[in-house]
Amino acid sequence: MKKIILLLGIIGIILSMNGQANAQKPGKYEHKARVAGMSNGNIAKELLLGNGTIECDNPEFEIIYYSFSFIRENGDLTVYSGRGNALSESMKAEIKGLEAGSKLVIDDIGARTMGDKIIQLQPIVLLLN
């Protein structure tokens, strides 16, 4: 009985270590994210507001969280945390008030893979025009 418990414990440790070995390495992004079809560059405010859904280049992956930040033209920084794949109403309200030239960053984007693994996607960097 003790041998079986010991064996099950060892198997559990091996499986746990294997899961950690397969985890995504920090700083390495295998997949891209986009919003309004863009992952970087200039974007019209209306396009962003009308298409505020974050997507992965693999449509079978589910966006589960992200961080949304923007830098106003005067240098002020604001950061929001988001759940799911859509910009919240408060984020959209902030975007409406931003001036052309404001920088928007959506990063720390977590996606659930088909194997129920959580990976980080490449950040989205946009400039309002």
The one-digit pLDDT tens for each residue of the chain (129 residues) are 555 554 444 555 554 444 444 444 454 678 999 999 999 999 999 999 999 999 999 999 999 999 999 987 778 899 999 999 999 999 999 999 998 989 999 999 999 998 899 999 999 999 999
Q: What is the pLDDT of residue 1?
A: 53
Note the Cα 8 to chain centre separation in Å: 36
Q: How far apart are CA 70 and CA 32, in angstroms?
A: 20
Tokens of 60: 């079978």
CATH T-level topology, domain 29-128: Immunoglobulin-like (2.60.40)
DSSP string, 99-121: PTT-EEEEEEEEEE-TTS-EEEE
Considering only CA atoms, which of 70, 76, 79 is closest in space to residue 104? Answer: 70
pTM for this entry:
0.74
